[in-house]
Amino acid sequence: MHLAFYKDEWAYNNIADIALRNYLLGFRNCDSSYAIENVVYFELLRRGYDVAIGKIDNMEVDFIATTADERKYIQVTESMNREEARKRELAPL
């Protein structure tokens, strides 16, 4: 198993400004997981973390937040009530 880090890939693949995203793509009321990821991403940056995405085979760690002293692996999901979602989110960790 190989863990690859992709710095700034999240920011590259996602429109960070939600208002701009809604303007370009149209408002999507059911897309709350994107908004949650957006908040987590910017909060990690605000706290001084270097933020990257990790990929293990076909699985993804939403955020890898690092400083000189620590590394955190963070999965973001709207709900883990379903067993399927829980397995999917915890598998790469």
Helix 18-25 crosses helix 32-46 at what angle (to 10 degrees)? 150
pTM: 0.66
User: What is the pLDDT, as a whole number, of residue 70?
Assistant: 95
pLDDT tens, per residue, the chain with 93 residues: 444 455 555 554 555 566 666 676 676 665 667 778 888 888 998 999 998 888 877 888 889 999 999 999 998 887 778 888 777 777 777
Taking alpha carbons only, the member of 77, 78, 79, 75 closest to residue 91 is 75
User: What is the pLDDT, as a whole number, of residue 12?
Assistant: 46
User: What is the pLDDT, as a whole number, of residue 68?
Assistant: 95
